[in-house]
Amino acid sequence: MKKVSLKEQIKDLKIPVFAASAKKEIEQVSKVLRFIDKKYITHFKPEVEGFHGSKTIWKIVKGYESYLKVLEEFLIKTE
């Protein structure tokens, strides 16, 4: 995706955005989200190490409950 500008693709988003990551990815995710109006962003920053992607809500993953709780709250809020 060398010719795609992520900044240009997301800067005009006007919908709720949920972002979660592993603890070590928080800074990288924050850098991407800075291009979106803050009023649309829910950025979950875990206390646990976490994982990348949907694995964060697998029941076998330590701390999955915290990810799942925030995701459920986001979905209810944006119904």
Give dist(CA 16, CA 23) in Å, integer. 22
Residues 39, 45, 41: CA angle, nearest 5 degrees: 15
Q: How confident is the model at residue 68 (pLDDT cuts 50, 70, 90)?
A: very high
For the stretch 18-44, pLDDT in tens is 999 899 999 999 999 999 999 999 999
Q: What is the pLDDT of residue 79?
A: 84
C-alpha distances out from residue 29 to 23, 72, 79, Å? 10, 20, 24
Within a domain: residue 71? yes
Domain, as residue range, for 58: 6-77
Q: What is the pLDDT of residue 1?
A: 67
Give dist(CA 79, CA 77) in Å, integer. 6
Within a domain: residue 1? no
Number of domains in the chain: 1
Whole-structure pTM value: 0.83
Within a domain: residue 57? yes
Residue showing tokens 């795609």:
4
Q: What is the pLDDT of residue 4?
A: 85
